[in-house]
Chains A and B, each alone.
Chain A
C-alpha cells in the first residue's frame, strides 16, 4: 500500500529521469513517455479502487510516525484528481506524437512533462503542507521551462509574468506555512486540522486563511490575480497550454479546497462572502475577456479563468452554509466543533454537500473539456499554421470530424446537455439556489451565455466561414505563421493520432455526462469526506486521532517568551 501511494509520483519521476538519460533517442523517449503516462493512469485507477473500497488511505514516508515525517494520503478527491492527472497524461503524451514539433521534442519535452506530472501527483497525495509547497515549486519550475520551450520572444514574455507572479504566490505560501508552524508546531495537515482548531484568536485564523487563499488564488488564477494565465497560455504550443489548462490551475483550486476543508474549516462567514465575490467576479471578468478575443488560444485561456470561478463557487457556497451552522463562528466553538462527528453532521445542510460535489464535478469536467479544446486548437494550428480567427475558415467542409469533435466539446464547455458541463453547472446552480445565493447563481448563468457566445464565435469563424484569401490577409498585415509552431511542422502528418486523442476526450465528456448518476455519487462521496474529515485524520494519525484532547494541550504562554522561537 505504501508503494501504491507513492507510485503516482515515482512513475512519472522515473520516466522523466529515463527520458533525460535517453536524451538523443527520440523514439526511445516517446516510448518511455507513453509507458510512464500509462503507468501513472494505472496507479491512479488502482488507488481509486482501493480508496473506494476502504476509505482514505495513508502511508508514512520513511516510516516516521505521522506528524513527524511526511505522510502521503489519498481520499476520494485526491484519487479523482489523480485519475484526471493520469488520463490527461496519456492523452497529452499521445497527442504530442503529432503535436509538439521536432525542435521542441528534442529539447527535453518529454522529461519536462513527466516532471510536471510527478509534481502534480505529489501535490494531490501529500498530507504535509510544506511538502505541498515543494511540489508547487517542482510544478512551477517544470511548467516554466515548458512554457519557454522553443525560446520564442512571446513565450519568454508570458513566462516571465507567470514565474514572477508564481514566485510571489510561493512567497506568500511559505510565509503562511511559517506562521502556521509557529502557531501549531506541526506541518502535517491532518495534525494541523486538529491543532489549528484550537487556535482561539479568530483574527489570526482569518488573516492566515486569507493569506493562503491569496497564495493559492494566484495559482488557481482567480480574480483579481489571474493575469499570468491569459498572458502565458497563449504563447506555447497548444499541447503544452492544454496540459496547463487541465492541471495547473486545478492544483491551485485543489489546494484551496484541501486547506479550507481541513485546516481553515472554522472560518467565519466573512471569509466565504469574500470567496463568493471572488468567484463571481472571476467568472464574469474571465468570460468578458474571452468574449472579446479573436484568437483561439486566447479565447480558451480567458475561459479557463472564468471556469475557475465555478469551481470556487461550490466551495464558497458550502463554506457559507457550514459557517452559518457553526454556533457563534470559530471563536466560541473552539476545539469542540471539530471534535464530535455528530455535531458537524448536524451543521451541514444537504445543499452544502451538493455544492462541494459540484465543485468536484466541475474540476473533472473542466480538466477534460478545456484540455480538449486546446488540443483542437493544436490540430488547427498544425493544419493551418495559425489560430487567429480572422485567418481561418472552411474547416467545416475540409475537416468534418474535427468540426464534430469541436462542437461536442465546445457545447460541453458551454453547459449544453448532456455532456459533463451541463451536470456540473446544474449541480452548482441547484445547490446555489437551495442555499439562497441568488447573485452567484445569476452570475454563473449569465456567464454561461457569454461562454456559449464565444464558443460559437470560434465555430462560426474557424469552421463555417470561407477562408479569406491570402491577398486580403497580406493587405491586413497578418503574418503567415504562428510562433508556437515551426514552419516545418505544419501539415497533416501526425494528425490522425491527434484526432484520435481528441475523439477519445470528446467521447469521455459525453460518456461521463450520460453516466451522471454514478459520477455524481463519487463526487458526493468526495464532498462528504471533505466535510467530515475524521476518516482522513484517522488514516493519517491513527485510530485514536480526531479527538483533540490529550496529545496537544495548548502551549503555556511562558514556553516561548523569547523573540524568534528556536525550534531546535
Chain B
C-alpha cells in the first residue's frame, strides 16, 4: 500500500484497479474496528535510524483508525470519481500517481507512531498537494496557488520539525506510544513554550487556521476530486489530527495549561466565525465550500482546546467524543458536497451557485446525495451532523470553563451554525430547486462513478445517524479515548452515546440548535440582503491575511533578498577584494590586536635593532619604498619597475642570509616577470576608471592594516616558538641519503617530491589552458558580448579587473 501506484495508463481499467486496492485497504481498516473498540492498539516497528530516534513505527489506535477510515473510505470514492471526472485528461496517469502518493503519505501520517516519521509523511502530503493543486499546470493561477500553499504549509512544516525535535529531546523518545504510556507531559519541561508554539504554527498552517487560512481557498484551483479529498476531508485535517494526537502530551489532558487551551479556543473560534462569515458572502461553488471548510476546521481546533479545558476527565472525554463525531460527520457531508459541486460543474459548466437551479429533476441521484449531505451539515436529525452538533453544544454548555471565554465560545458556535445552515442550503439545495436554468446543451446526470461517491457518503452519514451503534459509536469512542487520554480499562465506561433517543431531549443545546436552523433558513431566503449589508466587510479578509502574505513574502523577504544580492554581488572585483581584506582584518587582525601586544612576549624590537646589519636595513627600506611607489605612480610601466625593485631586493636578502641558489631563482623569476609584464602592458589600454580619492585612502588603510597584521604575525611567531624546526633533518640526510649537496634541490626532488610533481602539473595545465585559449576561438563574438553584458554579474563587471589572470608563477617549497 505504501508504494505509490505506478502511473500505468492501462486504459479505463486503471481507475477500477486502484479503487479496488484502496477498497481492500478500507475494508482492512474497517475490520479492525471491533478490535480497536476494545481499547487495543496495534503496533509495528522497524528500526530505521535509531541514533536519531527515527524508526518506521506505526500504531493503530482509535484516533488513527478514525482518520485511516476517512482516508481510505473517502479515497475509494474519490478514485472512482476522478476516473470519470478526468477521463479525457491526457495526464490522468500522473494524477493517479500523485493521488495514490498522497493517500499513502496521509495514511502514513495518521498511523505513524514515531513523531519524526509522522513529520516525513506530513511533508510528503505537502508536496503531493502542491503537485495536485498545480495539476492544471498551464494556468498561471493554479501555479501561483500551488506555490502559495506550499510556501505556507512548508514554512509551518519546518517550524513543526523544530517543535517535534524539541519534543523528542524533552521526552527522550520519539515514539508517541512511549510518551503516552509513560504519562509524559511536556508542560514540566523548560522547552514547553517553544515546543507548543512551533507545533501550533505547524498545525495551524496545515489546517488553515487564521491567520494562515488564505491558502486553502486558493488551493481550490485544483480539480474537484482533489478539493474534495485533500482540501476538505483529509490533508487539511492533518493539523487537527496532530493537535488531537498531542493533546494528552502538550495539553496535559484535562485541566491542562491555560495557554494551550486559550490559544486553541481563540484561534479556532475566530477561524470558525470568520470562515463561515466569508463563506456566506461567496457565490462561487468551491469558494463557499472552501471557506466553510475553514470554518469547520476552526471548530475542530476550538474543540481540541475545550478537551484540555474540561475540568474533569469525563467532560474531557465527552468533548473529545463530540470532536470525533464532528470530524466523521464533516468528512461525509463536506466530501459529498465537493463532489456534488464538481458534478454540477461537469454537467452545466457553471461555477456560480446563483446561476444554477432546477437540476433536481435532471440529476436525481446527485440531488438526493446533495440534499442528504445538506441536512447533515445543517445539523438536522436523524443524520450524523445532528449528533455531532448536539454533542458539541451540550459539552460546551456543560463542560465549558464557565468563564467569559466559555460563554463567548458558545455564542460563537451558535452564530457559526446559523451561517453554516445558510451555506449548506446554498450549495446543497439551491442548485436543485427552482426553475431549470437555460444552458446551451441540456444538462443530464453524470455517469454512475460521478454520483456514487456523494450518495455513498450521504448514506454513511444517514446510517451513522440512525444506527450509531453499527460503526460510528465504536470508532468515536475509541478515538475520543485516545484524544482525552482515557486509559484502556475505562474505555467502556466512557459517556459516549450518539443515539437519537439520547440526544433528542429538550434542553438548552437543542433549543440553540433548532434556533440556529430556523435562523439559517431565514438567512438563506434573505441572502441577497445579507450580502448587501455585509458588503463593506468583504474586503477585510483580502486585506488581512493574503495581503500580509504578499507583503511579507514578496515585498519583505524577496525585496530584502534582492537588496542583499545587489549589495553583495555587485560585480566589482575591486569591492570584492576590499571586502575580503576587511574580513582578514576584522577576524585575524582584531584577534591579534585585541591581545594588546601581549603576543610579542619579549622585547623583539630591541633584538631586531641589535641584530640588523647595515645592508639588511638598506634592502628592507628599498623594499618598502618600492612597494609604496608601485601604488603611487601613475603609469603601469613605472609600477612594474617598482614591483621589480621589490623582487630584486628580496632576492638580495636571500643572498645576505646565505641562500645564493634561492636568490638566483628569484632573480630569474623577477627578470622574466618584468619582461613579460612589460610586453603585455604595451598592448593594454591606459589606466582608466581610477577610484576616487576617499576610496584610495580607504584602500590604503586596508593595505597598511594587512601589512601590519602580517608583520605582527611574523613577530608573534618569532616569540612563540613551540618546537625545533625539522629542517635539521634535511641538512643531515641530504647528502647521506638524498645524494645531493644542494639541500634545496634534494628537498625539491626527493624529500618533498610530491609537491614538485603538483607544481609541474600546475604548469602543464596552464600550458593546456593557454593553448586552448588561443586555439579555440569563441564563435559569434559580436553577439556574445551582448549576452555577456546581460548575463554579467552587474554593471561595469568587465571593466574593473586589471589582473593578468594566467600569471601564476608560484614555485614550490618554503625555504
Contact = CB atoms under 8 A, between A and B. Distances in A.
11 contacts: A69-B751, A108-B768, A111-B768, A148-B773, A179-B717, A201-B598, A214-B583, A227-B569, A400-B94, A483-B791, A563-B616
A417 B108 CA distance: 13
A333 to B, nearest CB: 15
A555 B723 contact: yes
A217 B744 CA distance: 32
A181 B725 contact: yes
Contacts of A396: 137
Interface in A481-501: 482-483, 486-487
Contacts of A426: 52, 54, 116, 161, 165
A207 B724 contact: no
B568 interface: yes
A148 B769 contact: yes
B710 A70 contact: no
**3 nearest A-B residue pairs (beta carbon):** A185-B725, A203-B595, A145-B769
Interface stretch (B289-297, B508-516, B797-805): B797-805
A131 B758 contact: yes
A107 B775 contact: yes
A464 B712 CA distance: 59
Interface stretch (A88-96, A239-247, A445-453): A445-453
Given A111-B768, A291-B561, A137 B155 contact: no
B544 to A, nearest CB: 21
B158 A448 contact: yes
Interface stretch (B298-306, B423-431, B781-789): B781-789
Interface stretch (B119-127, B348-356, B440-448, B632-640): B119-127
Contacts of B717: 179, 182-183, 204
Determine the main DSSP class of A at the interface with B.
helix
Interface string B720-752: 111111110111010000000001100000111
B471 interface: no
B722 A196 contact: yes
Contact of B49 (A161, A165, A517): A517
B692 interface: no
Interface in A186-214: 186-187, 191, 195-196, 198-204, 206-208, 210-211, 213-214
Q: For this complex, into which size category does the number of interface residues on chain A fall?
A: 35 or more
A561 interface: yes
Range of interface residues on B (Cβ < 8 Å): 35 or more
A549 interface: no
Interface stretch (A79-87, A167-175, A310-318, A371-379): A167-175
Contacts of A108: 768, 771-772
A561 B651 CA distance: 22
B138 interface: yes
B576 interface: yes
Interface in A291-334: 291-292, 295, 302
Given A207-B712, A226-B568, A456-B146, 13 more contacts: A130-B813, A181-B725, A195-B723, A224-B568, A230-B569, A354-B51, A400-B94, A417-B124, A449-B154, A463-B137, A552-B722, A552-B724, A564-B657
B792 to A, nearest CB: 6
Contacts of A97: none
Interface in A123-174: 130-131, 134-135, 137-138, 140-142, 144-145, 148-154, 156-161, 163-165, 167-168, 170, 172, 174
Contacts of B709: 207
Interface in B539-595: 557-558, 560-562, 564-565, 568-569, 571, 573, 576-577, 579-581, 583-584, 587-589, 591-592, 594-595
Contacts of B719: 201, 557
B439 interface: no
A131 B754 contact: yes
A453 B121 CA distance: 20
A434 B658 CA distance: 58
Contact of A555 (B48, B616, B721): B721
The CB with the most chain A CB atoms within 10 A, among B560, B768, B808, is that of B768
A159 to B, nearest CB: 7
A258 B797 CA distance: 35
A458 to B, nearest CB: 12
A271 to B, nearest CB: 8
Nearest to A564: B657
A567 to B, nearest CB: 4
B627 to A, nearest CB: 14
B590 to A, nearest CB: 9
Contacts of B573: 160-161, 164-165
Contacts of A433: 162, 165-166, 169
Interface stretch (B240-248, B319-327, B410-418, B607-615): B607-615
A446 B729 CA distance: 54
B751 A62 contact: yes
B213 interface: no
A160 B805 contact: yes
B50 interface: yes
B777 interface: yes
Given A68-B729, A464-B134, A225 B579 contact: yes
Contact of B568 (A163, A285, A422, A465): A285
Contact of A211 (B162, B713, B731): B713
Contact of A465 (B143, B561, B730, B779): B143
B137 A464 contact: yes
A441 interface: yes
B761 interface: yes
B714 interface: yes
Contacts of B771: 108
B123 A417 contact: yes
A255 interface: no
A567 B765 contact: no
A201 B601 CA distance: 9
Given A145-B768, A199-B722, A557-B721, A460 B761 contact: no
A135 B758 contact: yes
B716 interface: yes
B561 A292 contact: yes
A460 B588 contact: no
B52 A520 contact: yes
B808 A292 contact: no
B688 interface: no
A276 B218 CA distance: 39
A119 interface: yes
A154 B721 contact: no
A445 B576 CA distance: 28
Given A214-B587, A516-B48, A482 B754 contact: no
Interface string A410-439: 010000111000110011011001100000
Contacts of A516: 48-49, 52, 54
B368 interface: no
A430 B729 CA distance: 49
Given A108-B772, A561-B607, A181 B165 contact: no
* Interface core residue of A201, A224, A289, A560 (most chain B CB under 10 Å): A201
Nearest to B798: A157
A195 B722 CA distance: 7
B398 interface: no
Interface string B112-135: 000010011101100100100010
Contact of B765 (A145, A152, A452, A479): A145
Contact of A131 (B716, B755, B768): B755
Given A151-B778, A517-B47, A172 B584 contact: yes
Contacts of A152: 778, 784, 788
B752 A70 contact: yes
Given A61-B753, A150-B778, A456-B147, A207 B785 contact: no
A460 B134 contact: yes
A119 to B, nearest CB: 7
B568 A201 contact: no
A201 B720 contact: yes
A429 B166 CA distance: 10
A103 B723 contact: no
